Structure 1
Amino acid sequence: MIRIIMLGAPGSGKGTQTQLLSKYFCIPFISAGEILRQEIKKNEKNKNYIKSKINKGKLVKNSFIIKIIKKRIQKKIYLNGFILDGFPRTIKQAESLKNQIKVKYIIHLKVNLENIINRIEGRLIHEPSGRTYHETLNPPQKKNIDDITGELLTKRKDDNKEIIITRLKEYEIYTKPLIKWFKEEKSKNKIKYLEVNSNTSINNIHKEIIKKLNIQ
């Protein structure tokens, strides 16, 4: 059973690498960001709260996202393995996940600021599936069109430089301590914590992840 958590700053390539690993290992992935965007569309009660946070580059409350992710993980499709993208983002979220389910592999994608801004500003999204592309680094076969469905790709409203900076500040505050927490868990609970240089090409990053995972 393969259970993986993808860590990294916004623009580190978590979404792209999660999709590649999902195909490689034939296991589903769970994108916290996409789940929240789905909630905006279907849940009128939470719509304004989630939008206000996402559009400002802020994180939603721990209790809110924990409840949603726990509910999703319980679905049968995830019983034989999954990849988590965008969750956990805080120590409290990680502790809550640990109490429910054991995840063996933590992949931390490390990337510099210049690449972060370039990747996010050029990102294209297929909203229904969460598939991600990039205008130059990972373009669709047809401009602004999803390769699989033929539907129009869009840009996220929070994919602009001002909000990127806010999101990076949130990352520094909440996720950097989480990385330290995972490193401590590595020695205590025999999880595999892997750091990968995410400043290279998509293909090279993917190869490096597979090599470091070393799953037979």
Structure 2
Amino acid sequence: MIRSRLFSALPRRSFATKVNGNVRAIGTSPVVQKSAAPNDVDMEESNSRFMLILGKPGGGKGTISKKILKDFPSFTHFSTGDMLRQHVREQTSLGKEAKTHMDSGGLVPDDLIIRLVLDEAEKEAESGNSLLLDGFPRTMEQAKALAESVDVDLVVELDIPNETIVDRIAERWVHPASGRVYNLSYNPPKVPGKDDITGEDLIQRDDDKPETVRKRLEAYEQVTAPLVEYYDEKGVLKTFAGTESDVIYPKVNKWLNSKV
């Protein structure tokens, strides 16, 4: 099992939730030490949550996450997909390694993605805020590695039909230098094929092409879908099905309000 120098090196703070007025610890998270009165720390810990958002690639996890962050500002969003793409754009050694897997439609290997999450978490470690983790874990090995450091309190699963995802991603175009994303249906560029800010050409990423998307969906069903059963058995998962985020999100919001 892969263990983290991050979680072994940094002091830990318990994530906790209140049950009938009592505080129940639900895990630990690394934090950066800062001066605070003891009472302030207790209040932060009693309100903290550790939440995951699961779903197929291109299934709207980023869109739903943004809505959650707007309505629940205590959460900090942590997206492995965004971080991976940043490393690819910057052509870091990790990014070059990840790109070979992304371009072929395969999942990034566990050891690489865990290294990414832990390195980035060390840089962005918060002091007591709730955390919304997007795009991780993707495999049972990752989930078990995460469980060594924290207990997950809430899991949102988005169940979107495959063909809806293929059609949606096929219309996605990107400005490679900045990472700005456009969609021909609901967020088109002002000038077809051009970035709104720079006027430079937009591209379709190799991992957004229909044939690659279908491979990614197949890989998800084989490798990631078992996580749904894993977290469902723990009693922390809620599944939301549909094709439109504006229809799905009100149900997500209602559920989270009943939990947070």
Quickly name the TM-score band, shorter chain normalised.
Answer: 0.7 to 0.9
TM-score (norm 1): 0.82
**Which structure 1 residue ranges, 5 or more long, are not aligned?**
187-191
Q: CA separation in 1, counterparts of 2:77 and 2:222?
A: 26
Q: CA deviation at 1:124?
A: 4.1
Range with bigger deviation, 68-77 or 166-175: 68-77
Per-residue CA deviation, residues 24-76 of structure 1 (Å, 9 max, x unaligned), is: 21232111112112222445433432111011111121111112112323433
2:142 counterpart residue number: 93
Per-residue CA deviation, residues 146-201 of structure 1 (Å, 9 max, x unaligned), is: 7xxx4676543211111011101110111111111111222xxxxx21100132x3
Q: CA separation in 1, counterparts of 2:208 and 2:125?
A: 33
Computing the radius of gyration from Cα coordinates, the structure with the larger value is 2
Match of 2:62 among 15, 30, 33: 15
TM-score (norm 2): 0.70
Q: Could you tell me whether the CA contact under 8 Å between 1:15 and 1:132 is conserved in 2?
A: no
**Which structure 2 residue ranges, 5 or more long, are not aligned?**
1-47
Q: CA deviation at 1:98?
A: 1.5
Q: CA separation in 2, counterparts of 1:19 and 1:169?
A: 26
1:198 counterpart residue number: 242
Q: Aligned Cα RMSD in Å?
A: 2.6
Match of 2:72 among 5, 25, 28: 25
Q: CA separation in 1, counterparts of 2:85 and 2:78?
A: 13
State the SS of the aligned residue for 2:58: coil
Range with bigger deviation, 125-134 or 4-13: 125-134
Range with bigger deviation, 70-79 or 172-181: 70-79
Q: CA deviation at 1:22?
A: 1.8
Cα distance change, pair 158–43 in 1 and its aligned pair in 2 (3 A) = closer
Equivalences, count: 206
Q: CA deviation at 1:78?
A: 6.9
- Flag the structure with higher helix content: 1
